[in-house]
Structure 1
Amino acid sequence: MSLSSRVLMAGTLLALSGPASATEFVTPDRQPIVVELFTSQGCSSCPPANANLIKLAERPDVLALSFSVTYWDYLGWKDVFGQPAYTQRQAVYEPRLGESGPFTPQMVVDGRASAIGFNLREMQALIASSPPKTGPSIALASDRVDIGKGRTGSGGSDVWLVWFDPATVQVPVRRGENTGRTLPHSHVVHHLARLGAWNGESVAFRTPAIPKGLKTAILVQEPGGGPILAAATD
């Protein structure tokens, strides 16, 4: 069974009973600000944004996630981390962020604000002005995630499972706009799956075993590219 299939299966499991015992709940006031970079190895403007995400990832109050999109692959270099699901995630964001369409490098802060990713000062300002989380507490254990009670919109919220690599990896690019360059990447997302819905009541989901070297992040987010209400990582 592929890793993608294993992740998607997690979203089909029934909610579990009882709270998590192995890990304490992370309350909203201790939850990180989520910074998502939409990037591509085929984009000549993206390397500075990759470097900025590496810097932002050093902050203890930031959860940095790098999503490689696929729409630059036509230039001759297929991004080795790119997945259509990441391209779709970015496209869903744009109407609510007031953008005319997807672009790279784009950074999105807590699903609420967007900026060009190579402008570090602008990103730092958006992070500083990001409002406190208003969603539920989250507890992560090795095989499950527990979501606490809280307020959500009438349409509920989505619970997303993210697997990412916290290490910095070097990728040599042999074609396209960055031909001959070796590009550093950090906090690269390798899998994204919707676990299910959160409607304001406590709920828990089983999660599959994570591949060695990767970390887990959980995002509770309003549907349709809305704000991220809660976030936690192991």
Structure 2
Amino acid sequence: MPFCFRALIVLAGLLCSSAVFAGEVRTPKGVIELFTSQGCASCPPADSALSQLVAQGDMVVLSYHVDYWNYLGWTDTLSSKENTERQYGYAKTMGRSGVYTPQAIINGREHVKGTDLAVINAKVDGMQKSGEGLTVPIGAAMRGDEIEIEIGEGQGQAEVVVAYFTKRQMVDVTKGENSGKNMEYWHSVYDVQSVGMWNGKKMTLTLPGKALGKTKKDGCAILLQSSGPGGEPAAIIGATVLMAGRKKN
């Protein structure tokens, strides 16, 4: 089954609100996907940078915990092989032979070091100006117990991907390279689902919404993402975020 149809697809994206952070992103400038690990000594600064991107309130931001550093003595409590596969999928799309942490993927098109906020913001702004930003409008809201997604017109074809995430969580790391640290993580993706295909025309999708607002299920990001010849994740052309509790007017 193609990579993008295996619970890893695109997903990408979202921003959430809290008493400390800015409100939800309604018209995002871009999508940032951070690949990180609790067992990576270089990752805490990137995790902190991600929280600052959330605070900016103008982008869809997602965090994917990979599992390939678990052998260093600490098993990342948020990691999954699917997240690792997604990162390797991007590597193939971009013609790279390997992966690294902390790595930030921007709009599914380019990668940069996840700690460099200035570069990330500059890349997002540059993509907007060059036509490589989010060009297809997407709206999402809760209607009763269902999620209603509305996608506008545009060019091309893309998957409609829903990435479920936890807004914020704290983790005590007791072993490995970050031993003794109490780590804060935002927008950690724990499930990704491909829910349909978009062919350039307006469309509306209705999904069960019972997953939102229960236990750790705080929200989801809806993404329009193209794929490579082998189903690898590629350019993201539209995105929005839906937090538990947002109702349709």
TM score, norm. by length of structure 2: 0.75
The structure 2 residue matched to 1:219, chosen from 215, 220, 223, is 223
| Residue aligning to 1:138 | 139
How far apart, in 2, do the equivalents of 1:130 and 1:90 lie?
A: 21
Cα pair 1:195 1:205 within 8 Å, conserved: no
Q: Deviations over 1:85-143 (max 9, x none)?
A: 11111111112234332110001111121101122222222222222322243333341
**8 A Cα contact 2:140 2:241, kept in partner:** no
2:68 aligns to what SS in structure 1?
Answer: coil
Does 87-96 or 39-48 show the bigger shift?
87-96
CA distance in 2, matches of 1:63, 1:51: 16
Residues of 2 paired with 1:149 and 1:170: CA distance? 37
Cα distance in 1 for partners of 2:113, 2:28 equals 24
81-90 or 195-204: bigger deviation? 195-204
Partner Cα distance (1:39, 1:222) in 2 = 23
Q: How does 1:98-117 map to 2 (within 5 A)?
A: 98-117=95-114
- Structure 1 range deviating more: 130-139 or 191-200: 130-139
1:40, 1:79 within 8 Å by CA — same for their partners in 2? Answer: yes
Indicate the SS of the match to 1:133. Answer: coil
**Structure-2 residue corresponding to 1:3:** none
What residue ranges of structure 2 are gaps of 5+ in the alignment? 1-6, 8-25, 243-249
Question: In the alignment, which residue of structure 1 is the partner of 2:247?
Answer: none
Q: Could you tell me which residue of structure 1 aligns to residue 116 of structure 2? A: 119
**8 Å contact 1:32–1:60 — kept in the other structure?**
no
- The TM-score, its normalising length taken from structure 1, stands at 0.79
- Given the alignment, which residue of 39, 43, 56 partners 2:40? 43
Gaps of 5+ in 1: 1-7, 9-28
Which amino acid in 2 is paired with 1:150? E
Counterpart CA distance in 2 for 1:200 and 1:124 is 28
Q: Distance in 2 between matches of 1:91 and 1:83?
A: 13
Mapped to 2, the partners of 1:121 and 1:137 lie a distance apart of 27
SS state at 1:182 partner: strand
CA distance in structure 1 between the aligned counterparts of 2:117 and 2:152, rounded to whole angstroms? 35
Q: Which residue of 1 aligns with 2:158?
A: 157
- The residue aligned with 1:173 is 173
Deviates most, 112-121 or 209-218: 209-218
Structure 1 Cα separation of the partners of residues 151 and 53 of structure 2: 28
Question: Compared with structure 1, are the counterparts of its residues 103 and 121 closer, same or farther at alpha carbon in structure 2 (3 Å cutoff)?
Answer: same
Aligned residues: 204
CA distance in 2, matches of 1:32, 1:193: 23
* Matching residue of 1:204: 205
Shift of 1:211: 4.1
Q: What letter corresponds to residue 53 of structure 2 in structure 1?
A: L
Deviation (angstroms), 1:217: 1.0
Q: Which runs of 4+ in 1 moved over 4 A?
A: none
Q: How far apart in 2 are the matches of 1:219 and 1:163? A: 11
User: 8 Å contact 1:163–1:215 — kept in the other structure?
Assistant: yes
Percent of paired sites with the same residue: 33
Residue in 1 aligned with 2:183? 183
Instruction: State the shift of 1:147 in Å.
Output: 3.6
